[in-house]
Structure 1
Amino acid sequence: MRRIIVVGGGAGGLELVTRLGDRLGARARQPRAEIVLVDRDPTHIWKPLLHEVAAGSMDPFTHQLEYAAQARWHGFEFQQGELIGLDRANRVIRIGALTDEDGAALLPARELRYDTLVIAIGSTTHFFGVPGAEDHAIALDTPEQAERFRRRMISQCIRAQYRRASGAADDDVARPDVARDGASIAPSGEHPKVRVAIIGGGATGVELSAELRNTAQVLAAYGLHDVDPAYDVSITLVEAGPRLLPALSERLSEETRKLLTKLGVTVMTGARVEAVEAGGLRLPDGDLLPADLIVWAAGIKAPAILGQLDGLATNRLGQLLVRESLQTEADDAIFALGDCASCPWAGTGKTVPPRAQAAHQQASFLFEALLRQMDGKPLQTFSYRDLGSLVSLGRFSAVGSLMGGLIGGSMFVEGMFARLMYSSLYRLHIVALHGFARMALDTVAHWLRRSTMPRVKLH
């Protein structure tokens, strides 16, 4: 049987392997192919939700999906491990050894044979060589990083509460390892603060800043930060460019800035970060912007392994160069989709942007393309449709623009309607993985759970 391997269980990769398993895999009426998913992690979570995990407004364990369970339900095979090599001549990929959290070996390094290979390993944080950024700032690439930031946020709030209640100086409170976790103690004074600096004014930085404002209010309500959340928790959003959300329209950018300002978020544009230190951000004029917690959300790049894959061409961001069929330029048997692929955007002279909607469209295209390939039919070309952009500001609001033939161009949306549209994006992802009925049950279950739990995780 033909063997199709999909490397990467992100939004696009998991949707693709689920549909292939249903149509061609072991649970199909007439199985025609072995479908294999390879991912270094055992579970999946929709990456656009990580800012909510970091703010504590979402419990990742209730939204994670076990790859092994999804494989059982949809007729594909799951192999856990990290892609470490490729042999195109023999059509083999190499998967690294798997270890547990203590470093003990679970599975040895392996080789997997393929007839068709789809690479969908997403992106990682780009620190742009800024000194100290990797040591003192927390990225939001994984649920573990998001959870780490959330714990540091609560720890800082507890320390601030202690100093406020006892009048203790910094020396009376044990300092964390700032080189490891990016946290430091705010200086004591009449009004101790928890100071958060978010580097990067794209969607992740904007959404996280709004979610953290809500988190501060909830923590104060539960007594974990017994001070004024609007006054004593400062959130600063730092963007090197002239405006927020540079990939979107100026109107959307300006409306977002106004809404964040109303929430008490300090927005700094045109502010390039020269270095990141344990106690804050070093700006070009030499001034230090104090910060107790630092998040780096300033850019993405493709994983380094893509530049080591047996002759596959990459661009300056490390993305695989693919044709409009999503086949790599060097090998017709290898496809790429999502953030790790540099795909031409027909008629624009640009490449398809690294967005969740692009990965979803590419997964749908590749599903049909691989069926055509198995039937010996020629491949068609991928055409990206920009359906607009939505940015969530938590429970406060949302803004965005919708595009398409139905509305005859572009339409600016905000408020409750935009929030409903934003939440529907995740629901559509669940539909792609489980179908409409399970999505509806999942929505009700999460609503019932939230009605009996705090609005944020308090520990």
Structure 2
Amino acid sequence: MHPIAPIDAGDRKTQIVVVGGGAGGLELVRKLGAKYGRKKHDIILVDQNLSHIWKPLLHEVAAGSLDANLDEVGYRGHCYRWGYRFFQGSLASIDREAKTITLAPVLDKDGSELISDHVIRYDILVLAVGSVSNDFGVPGVSEHCIYLDARDQADRFRTKLLNHCLRVSRAMSADPTADERVRIAIVGGGATGVELAAELYNAAGALRHYGLEVFDESRLDVTLLEAGPRILPALPEKLSDAARQELATLGVEVKTETQVIKAERGRLFTQRGEEIRADLMVWAAGVKGADFLAELGLETNPRNQIVVTDTLQSVTDEDIFALGDCCSYIPEGGQSPIPPRAQAAHQMADTVFTNIKRKQKGKRLKPFVYTDNGSLISLSRFSTVGSLMGNLVGGAMAVEGRMARFIYTSLYRMHLLAIHGWIKGIGLMIIGRVNRIVRPKLKLH
């Protein structure tokens, strides 16, 4: 086991370690690096991956509508630009007495060890490791369903999707009378499930232009399963109904009040006794904290999320902060924790940044105040629905159509500005517009 020393071991620096390079974690290290640099601080980002992709875009990566290679952020290049250090690895344990974390060994795809386990000292530790899909213990889900928690999972889905589309195209070319289809079942009627269902039809409609001449969206059979009474429960019922109608127009079969109780290879079983056959099965029915979070010695809730105070410090240790999907904070007088959304991670990163500055100066820390800016759901190029300023107008300000699409796109632009700053962020927006014109509309490999 190899300890990692500060950059200048002779002049002990304040070492701030952020574990997790998602939206909140990456924004935080960018701000910390810009604020402190390397003179008296050593800012370290730890992530098991080498690059970042904004999680709300993963459904587009899965459908092939977005080339993640063009939108990902490499941590090593980003850390050089903003004055922090990056180490690849996943968190194995925390020694709160010694104030160190241990990273598990990094393995190659064939299982050989690339980087041995090692120890990193911290003065302040921030956990921002995000969330994973919650299968609620349903038998067979982890073995037979695909999650969309990370890029590699989205890439895996896209590869399988293209293979099945090619299979159908070849069969139709050999026998035009054949009724071959690609059957896809999506479990979960939240944002991920709904957005993926719509994006699939957008991608399928474009495949005919890329070598699959006899294939189009009519060859898709997409079933969306939701255990609750309606899809998109975070939105007003009017917008939920509008989204369901739009999906039905595309060809998606939406089944509400349909709970999946078992998954097997190529089929799902519901509590009603239905058997739903599918070539591809996606599980998007909720999120939880990763299992290892419950083994770190910090207080967690039943969903493995770290319980934090109103200053976003762990209730177990004031030198450990947590933000985003991996933490649980219930506001005073509230009934439920802050929802796992990108906007919450963004706001939490801002509060943790402020509190790290204040903590080092011995000042009173600021409580986190969540502002619900509403929810927006993109149905690909077909439609966008949502509600704005939820806390101010009770979620009653409904938006649809072009205005909603513009605001939805603006959210990603704000994310670019948060992690890259104004100059590079605006440059990347311009490059993104150019890529839409000169690049293929689908990633087919």
Q: Which TM class, normalised by the smaller chain length?
A: over 0.9
Match of 1:94 in 2: 102
Q: 2:130 aligns with which of 112, 122, 128?
A: 122
Q: After TM superposition, which residue ranges in structure 1, 4 or more long, deviate above 3 angstroms?
A: 404-410
Match of 1:14 in 2: 26
1:68 is the counterpart of 2:76: yes
Match of 1:203 in 2: 191
- 3-state DSSP of counterpart to 2:238: helix
- 3-state DSSP of counterpart to 2:119: strand
147-156 or 247-256: bigger deviation: 247-256
Unpaired runs of at least 5, structure 1:
169-188
8 A Cα contact 2:171 2:178, kept in partner: no
8 A Cα contact 2:187 2:193, kept in partner: yes
Match of 2:42 in 1: 34
8 A Cα contact 2:183 2:221, kept in partner: yes
Query: Match of 1:106, as an amino acid?
Result: L
1:433 is the counterpart of 2:445: no
Q: Percent identity?
A: 47
CA gap of 1:43–1:409, structure 2 versus 1, over 3 A, is closer
- Alignment map for 1:260-275 (pairs within 5 Å): 260-275=247-262
8 A Cα contact 2:372 2:391, kept in partner: no
Match of 1:176 in 2: none
Distance 2:76 2:98 in 1: 27
Query: Match of 1:339, as an amino acid?
Result: D
CA gap of 1:285–1:408, structure 2 versus 1, over 3 A, is closer
- 3-state DSSP of counterpart to 2:389: strand
8 A Cα contact 1:219 1:458, kept in partner: no
> Once the 2 structures are TM-superposed, how far is the Cα of residue 315 of structure 1 from its aligned partner?
0.4
8 A Cα contact 1:346 1:384, kept in partner: no
> Once the 2 structures are TM-superposed, how far is the Cα of residue 287 of structure 1 from its aligned partner?
2.9
8 A Cα contact 1:156 1:194, kept in partner: yes
Query: Match of 1:240, as an amino acid?
Result: A
Superposed CA RMSD: 1.7
- Alignment map for 1:347-366 (pairs within 5 Å): 347-366=333-352
> Once the 2 structures are TM-superposed, how far is the Cα of residue 405 of structure 1 from its aligned partner?
8.2
> Once the 2 structures are TM-superposed, how far is the Cα of residue 277 of structure 1 from its aligned partner?
1.8
- Alignment map for 1:160-199 (pairs within 5 Å): 160-167=168-175, 190-199=178-187
CA gap of 1:417–1:97, structure 2 versus 1, over 3 A, is same
8 A Cα contact 1:24 1:32, kept in partner: yes
- Alignment map for 1:296-445 (pairs within 5 Å): 296-310=283-297, 312-403=298-389, 410-445=396-431
Distance 1:285 1:384 in 2: 39
Query: Match of 2:273, as an amino acid?
Result: G
- 3-state DSSP of counterpart to 1:351: coil
1:248 is the counterpart of 2:256: no
Q: 1:156 aligns with which of 142, 160, 164?
A: 164
> Once the 2 structures are TM-superposed, how far is the Cα of residue 255 of structure 1 from its aligned partner?
1.5
> Once the 2 structures are TM-superposed, how far is the Cα of residue 282 of structure 1 from its aligned partner?
1.5
Query: Match of 1:202, as an amino acid?
Result: G
Distance 1:150 1:228 in 2: 16
Deviations 1:13-68 (A, max 9, x none): 11001100110122xxxx33211111111111111110000010000111111111
- 3-state DSSP of counterpart to 1:416: helix
Query: Match of 1:293, as an amino acid?
Result: L
- 3-state DSSP of counterpart to 2:340: coil
Match of 1:174 in 2: none
Match of 1:234 in 2: 221
CA gap of 1:113–1:209, structure 2 versus 1, over 3 A, is same
> Once the 2 structures are TM-superposed, how far is the Cα of residue 228 of structure 1 from its aligned partner?
4.5
Query: Match of 1:342, as an amino acid?
Result: S
TM-score (norm 2): 0.94
Match of 1:257 in 2: 244
Query: Match of 2:98, as an amino acid?
Result: N
1:292 is the counterpart of 2:279: yes
Match of 1:186 in 2: none
> Once the 2 structures are TM-superposed, how far is the Cα of residue 409 of structure 1 from its aligned partner?
6.8
Match of 1:183 in 2: none
> Once the 2 structures are TM-superposed, how far is the Cα of residue 410 of structure 1 from its aligned partner?
3.7
> Once the 2 structures are TM-superposed, how far is the Cα of residue 263 of structure 1 from its aligned partner?
1.4
- 3-state DSSP of counterpart to 1:326: coil
Distance 1:39 1:55 in 2: 25
Match of 2:54 in 1: 46
Match of 1:2 in 2: 14
- 3-state DSSP of counterpart to 2:410: helix
- 3-state DSSP of counterpart to 2:312: coil
> Once the 2 structures are TM-superposed, how far is the Cα of residue 378 of structure 1 from its aligned partner?
1.0
Unpaired runs of at least 5, structure 2:
1-12
8 A Cα contact 1:158 1:225, kept in partner: no
Distance 2:270 2:142 in 1: 17
8 A Cα contact 2:165 2:215, kept in partner: no
315-324 or 342-351: bigger deviation: 342-351
Distance 1:344 1:225 in 2: 53
Match of 2:4 in 1: none
Distance 2:213 2:351 in 1: 49
- 3-state DSSP of counterpart to 1:298: coil
Distance 2:381 2:153 in 1: 23
Query: Match of 2:343, as an amino acid?
Result: Q
> Once the 2 structures are TM-superposed, how far is the Cα of residue 84 of structure 1 from its aligned partner?
0.3
Paired residue total? 433
417-426 or 245-254: bigger deviation: 245-254
1:214 is the counterpart of 2:202: yes
CA gap of 1:55–1:342, structure 2 versus 1, over 3 A, is same
- Alignment map for 1:446-457 (pairs within 5 Å): 446-457=432-443
